[in-house]
Structures are given as structure tokens and as C-alpha cells.
A = this chain, B = another copy of it.
């Protein structure tokens, strides 16, 4: 067995190692799923031995929860900034779709499939914690739809419409390939046209 790097046995960059573990865990959970990923896999990915991740996280569960909460928090901040920068309801809607797709498809998006596939692996308390952030994200987006309807850009902004929209957008993570023909911007434009065609109302 090869040890990818010398252990930084005792020393400075504590948060660094923690962040490395989170990135590796996110990537492995995405690829193989939470259950199929072992602590040994994650440790090996950052050059640690099997017992060492427990120095940074008290359990495998906590690693899973943190992948989700930190990913979602970053997405929430990015979405809020994107919407705030827009100067019309339609611009805000475009910005929201773009920001959502950037989160779902961009680098560091590992937590998105993890959120979907491994939700059921979370214990009850962790679920509530993750759901709280997700609810704030969705409320932010719902507000954009309300404004868009008021401006005449869509005919309905109800719950079902909102869920269909998130379905169409989130599903992209199931089929998007970075090497494919469609860029993220192409997909965003098509999604805007699909959800709110300009001649629809």
C-alpha cells in the first residue's frame, strides 16, 4: 500500500485537513454512496490511516451531515447574492436559474447528489438541521417566482409550479455531462424558456 503523503503528524493547518476530508467524503459519497464508502476510503484519499478521520469528525454520520450543511450554506449565499444583483423580476428569475444550475452542475457540486441519494442515511436530528437550510433556499426562490408572476412573466406561482420547476432543474444533475454539447448557460437559457416562455401570458 502506498501512502500518498507524509502525515502532517502534529502541526498547524487543522482546518485544512478537515476541509480535505470533507471534499474527499463528498466526492466518494457521490460516486459510491454513503453506505458503500468506508472511512478507510476517505482516509486513504487524503493520505490518512483508517482511525484518523475520527480525530476530526466524531462519526461517519457527522461527516455526511457536514458535507450537506456546508454545501447547502454556500449555495444559499451564492443564490442570495445572484438574486440581489438583478434589477427586474425577469432578470432575477434568470439569475436564479443560472445560480441554481451553477450550484447543481459546477465544481464542488458533489453534495447535491449526496443530498438526494443519501438523505435517508441521516439520523433524525441531522435531517432537521439540513432541512432548515434547504427551506431557506427554497423560500428565497419562491419569492422570485412571486415577483415574476406579478410582472406577468408566468401565469402561476403556486406550490406545484414551484415543485415542477425544481424538478426540471434538479434533474439536470442526472444527465448533464461537462463534455456534452450543451453548456451550463445553454441549459439555463433553455430552462428559462421552458418554465417561463416569453409569450406565455
Chain B residue nearest in CB terms to A118? B33
Given contacts A33-B120, A171-B163, A171-B171, contact A197 B200 (CB under 8 A): yes
Q: Count this chain's copies in the assembly.
A: 2
Surface stretch bound by B, among A10-18, A67-75, A187-195: A187-195
Interface size on A, residues (CB 8 A): 36
Which secondary structure dominates where chain A touches chain B?
helix
Assembled-state Cα–Cα distance A43/B174 (Å)? 32
Given contacts A117-B117, A121-B33, A121-B36, contact A175 B163 (CB under 8 A): yes
Measured between beta carbons, the chain B residues less than 8 angstroms from A35 are 33, 35-36
Does A31 count as interface, using CB distance less than 8 angstroms? yes
Does A182 count as interface, using CB distance less than 8 angstroms? yes
Contact digits for A65-83, partner B, Cβ 8 Å, 1 yes 0 no = 0000000000000000000
- Residues on A facing B (Cβ under 8 Å): 31-33, 35-36, 116-117, 120-121, 155-156, 160-161, 163-172, 174-175, 182, 186-187, 190-191, 193-195, 197, 199-200
